[in-house]
Amino acid sequence: MFMQIVDEKRVFGGRQIRFEHNSNTLNCTMQFSVFLPPQAESQEVPALYWLSGLTCTDENFSSKAGAQRVAASLGIALVIPDTSPRGEGVQDDPDGAYDFGLGAGFYVNATQSPWSEHYHMYDYIVEELPSLVEAELPINDKRALSGHSMGGHGALVIGLRNSELYTSISAFSPIVNPTQCPWGEKAFSHYLGNNRNDWEAYDAVCLLNQKQGKNVPPIKVDQGDADNFLEEQLKTDNLIEACKANSVAADIQYQAGYDHSYYFISTFIEQHLRFHAQNLL
Amino acid sequence: MFMQIVDEKRVFGGRQIRFEHNSNTLNCTMQFSVFLPPQAESQEVPALYWLSGLTCTDENFSSKAGAQRVAASLGIALVIPDTSPRGEGVQDDPDGAYDFGLGAGFYVNATQSPWSEHYHMYDYIVEELPSLVEAELPINDKRALSGHSMGGHGALVIGLRNSELYTSISAFSPIVNPTQCPWGEKAFSHYLGNNRNDWEAYDAVCLLNQKQGKNVPPIKVDQGDADNFLEEQLKTDNLIEACKANSVAADIQYQAGYDHSYYFISTFIEQHLRFHAQNLL
């Protein structure tokens, strides 16, 4: 457990800090960002963990979502990991595609060579990262989880599989049914192998059906109806149907005219933070 | 007068639009961004013109400042130009430095070859851009002006020299006295030649002294006291002294712990928009 500050900025009276540490889980050096609200100067605060989408690092959400304003007023920390293992020794997609390999860890524990050497983002998010920030920073163990696109998939899957660890989960434009879309099929076949039964533990729609709606934390999802990825990759209707079939009262909204960008996230992040605050604070 | 949309996003119920047009003033193709608040769907709205700093394009402020939230609630458009002429035919710093040439037009009308062929950012901001957006978009001729760093310099200089055109001016971390700092000396000697008397028309401190405080619009300035450029380049105290010497009641504040980044701008942009709204609306 050792981490060092590589950058720090003041924002909205709090501290936006970028850390570097050697991850045992991922077997490489990782960077992540944390926003500590002003309240963290005198007490431990709860945290929203934010999982970013394809091609992102911890910097996209930090600089573009405008989340610090509301987090500062509510007294909630933001913990923002990278989206895959990193570094020279970490295998990337041989073709350099944006949707697999570096920047595209899909929040799974890879079982297939060579990916299994580093790609354990599931364990990193569930175990190593919270243990680290709760030990080293004024952050308590009340956790909420959110994310965008691939990170929305990660937030739903991790929150559904670990409902005792998160008081609520939310997502923007999530890949809700990755076993049934090209992004998921490509990533899962490489990371997890060709047995599709093994993929279901990382698919929010499959998990909702497996759980039959039991022990599901409060869920909030926003999806732009002008999102180019909606029909082929995101398939929000499949999540709506799974919630309905399993009597899960999730708040899933289509937002008219919004696309897949951070402009969409910035517009609705306040509502998500206030949703999580109901149970975090 | 012709411009075309190259990108459009919905944000906070309004429209973030990127345009491309052939600039007669700059003798090249330019891009700029506009945020139209929801109110612009049914009426003409006033505009805050935002001038960005060194190395920026129109995209930095658009994606990182979080200004659209407040602009949407107030009913103010944001007009966000690029920071220099652009394109293959436009001369850059021969050494590719970040502080001169492309991305560093310093909001002057260059008089020296080869810069005078394209580098007329002063006229572009004062004349061509407002004429274009007021003719083509639901934007009226009530204008305020703000900017960051080199763009804070631009906002102060253009606002002071054209007080009839702007209801108020503001700046984040402005270069207040460019005739007395390395960034200004390098840029002005190339763009304007070696006669330092010619530089004073582009120096906010010199202009305040020349105007003896007469016809000065309301001014608001914020400056982080942890800004690495403060002492050598920005010299905020020189502006405070010039305002005092000329009985100008500008609101100039040092903000403790803030640096030169967009995290600083995002923290205080709401206060600047509400300051401008007092006279714009």
Give tens-digit pLDDT for B62-110.
999 999 999 999 999 999 999 999 999 999 999 999 999 999 999 999 9
Name the phi and psi angles at A89, rounded to 5. Answer: -85, 0
Question: Is B92 an annotated catalytic residue?
Answer: no
Mean pLDDT value of segment A130-141: 98
* pLDDT > 70 fraction of chain B, expressed in percent and rounded: 100
* pLDDT > 70 fraction of chain A, expressed in percent and rounded: 100
Beta strands across the sheet bearing A251-255: A3-11, A14-23, A28-36, A77-81, A45-51, A139-147, A169-172, A219-224, A251-255
Above 60 in pLDDT, residue B14? yes
Above 80 in pLDDT, residue B1? no
Question: Is A227 an annotated catalytic residue?
Answer: yes
Minimal Cα distance from B269: which residue of A? Answer: A12
Q: Which amino acid is at B76?
A: I
| Interchain proximity A9–B68, CB inside 8 Å | no
Spell out which residues of chain B touch residue A16, defining contact as CB-CB under 8 Å: 263
Spell out which residues of chain A touch residue B13, defining contact as CB-CB under 8 Å: 267
| Interchain proximity B264–A10, CB inside 8 Å | yes
The owner of tokens 């007669």 is B24
Above 90 in pLDDT, residue B2? no
Above 80 in pLDDT, residue A1? no
Distance (Å, whole) CA B3 – CA A269: 33
Q: How much is the ipTM here? A: 0.95
Above 60 in pLDDT, residue B194? yes
Burial B147-160 (b: 16+ CB within 10 A, else e): bbbbbbbbbbbbbb
Instruction: Check if B35 contacts A (Cβ < 8 Å).
Output: no
pLDDT range class, residue A66, cuts 50, 70, 90: very high
Question: Is B149 an annotated catalytic residue?
Answer: yes
* β-strand partners of A19: A5, A32
* Of B11, B262, B263, Cβ closest to residue A10: B263
| Interchain proximity A66–B266, CB inside 8 Å | yes
Distance (Å, whole) CA B40 – CA B104: 32
Minimal Cα distance from B35: which residue of A? Answer: A263
Strands B77-81, B45-51: parallel, antiparallel or unpaired by DSSP?
parallel
The region, left, alpha or beta by phi > 0 then psi within -120 to 50, assigned to residue A87 is left
Supply the pLDDT for residue B66.
98
Nearest to A254 by CA among A237, A270, A267: A237
Instruction: Give B9 to chain A, closest Cα distance, Å.
Output: 7
Q: Which residue out of B120, B227, B272, B276 is catalytically annotated?
A: B227
Mean pLDDT value of segment B159-167: 98
